[in-house]
Structure 1
Amino acid sequence: MFQHVFAEMNDMLDEIITLYPVAQGAQKQDLAKKWHLLKHMSDGMIEEWLNFEEKMGDFRQSWSNPDNAKNVELPEMDCDAFVKGQGYYKLLMFSQGMAQFKLALDQFPESLMARTYLAMCHMHLEQYGEAVPHFWRVLEGTGSKRLRSIIYNALGCIEAQKGIRAKAKEYFTLAHHHDPSLAEPLANLEACMRSSGKLQYGNELTSLL
């Protein structure tokens, strides 16, 4: 739906990146105007996306079936900070998402989902020391096999990044054991054994909500 818009924006940005360093006078001013236009469009799209996510969350709450155990409502789903944090996370804006999930945890300190998202934001920003304690706290409090699998997978990725492959393989195996339907642990285990390939984590979080 938006591919052509982003394609045109990327073409314009590529033009600015290529020409601006050597541009002078009127051409440089014109390129600067184009950059400010792109910035304005980007900020507007992000804001509209966050509003859209909030509406989607409100609607999801209205049609969830209370008799379905999988649709048990989480109190944090009514928290603006949590909903905005999810929007930032999906847009790969992890610093902004982290700030929102911290606000959500201030309101719901026992929220395992907000804590998991917060830990994932830290992880994407390579702040592994901050991420790990949050992951272990969630593991201590959750009975969800899928959430445990997601977290063990993340812990395996951290160990792999640190070069501790034996521990990484152990965590990936635990992740697969808890939820064999989760694809990431096996892919990561294979990448770890081959010492090649990109590690995958955090992509399945939205399936829990």
Structure 2
Amino acid sequence: MFKHLFTSMNEMLDEVAVYYKAAAGVHKQELEEKLHMLKTMSDTFIEEWLLFEEKLACFYRDQQPAAALTDGMKTELGDVRTAEFVRGQGYYKLMMFSEAIREFTVLVREQPDFTLARLYLAMSFLQKGDISDSYGHFIFLSQCTHNHQIKAISCSAMGCIQMHEQNVDKASEYFNLAFQSDPSSVEPLLEMGLCSEKKGQLDFYW
């Protein structure tokens, strides 16, 4: 549904515009290629996240009350049937991110370990362009979740944010953490030729 990891790219464009004033030839081409790379990464990660979210939601709905889920996993997935979650999810899919933030903030305040709700909250902040708020939740998720896919998604999102901030070393670190949690989470990077696997680690070409 979403083509961009960030709803607003104005800050990034303004930052690049500063370099454009003095850039020429190869330098300008490099800036253009970098923007294209970031956009492609953002598009791909949000698409992968939405596919995962739909699959997880379908799985949870199909489970019986007596399903053999661990207590920790039950807490993390929470109850997706609550009014707040349903409303928040609906707002998110309608791109009404301020309203989604309101609903998921209530859920996370009442159930701090409800990581699926926190993931929605982090993504809502990110889509609104509130990088700082989203980053804090992604850090919490990456450190506290027992779900490998949620951890990988969080690390991948932080990697994209660090790329947005031009911190390529930190971005590489987060993408490697995502790779360790769930190798499939960074397949888009491999497919785009931005990195390769080498002895269980990612070797980046930027």
Give the TM-score range, shorter chain: 0.5 to 0.7
Instruction: Give the structure with higher Rg (CA).
Output: 1
Residue pair 1:172, 1:188 contacting (<8 A) in 2 also: no
- Alpha-carbon distance in structure 2 between the residues aligned to 1:185 and 1:170: 14
Question: Could you tell me which residue of structure 1 aligns to residue 14 of structure 2?
Answer: none
Shift of 1:68: 4.3
Match of 1:178 among 173, 178, 181: 181
Shift of 1:154: 0.5
TM-score after normalising by structure 1? 0.55
Aligned pairs for 1:51-90 (under 5 A) are 61=61, 63-65=62-64, 66-69=66-69, 72=74, 74-90=77-93
Identify the structure with the greater helix proportion: 1
Percent identity, aligned pairs only?
30
> Residues 174 and 187 (structure 1 numbering): CA distance in 2 closer, same or farther, change over 3 Å?
farther
Question: Could you tell me which residue of structure 1 aligns to residue 150 of structure 2?
Answer: 147
Aligned length: 136
- Alpha-carbon distance in structure 2 between the residues aligned to 1:111 and 1:145: 15
Question: Could you tell me which residue of structure 2 aligns to residue 190 of structure 1?
Answer: 194
Unaligned ranges ≥5, structure 1? 1-56, 196-209
Question: Could you tell me which residue of structure 1 aligns to residue 168 of structure 2?
Answer: 165
Amino acid at match of 2:94: L
Unaligned ranges ≥5, structure 2? 1-56, 196-203
Structure 1 stretches of 4+ moved >6 Å: none
Aligned pairs for 1:11-160 (under 5 A) are 61=61, 63-65=62-64, 66-69=66-69, 72=74, 74-160=77-163
- Alpha-carbon distance in structure 1 between the residues aligned to 2:105 and 2:192: 29
Amino acid at match of 1:67: A
Amino acid at match of 1:190: L
- Alpha-carbon distance in structure 2 between the residues aligned to 1:125 and 1:113: 18
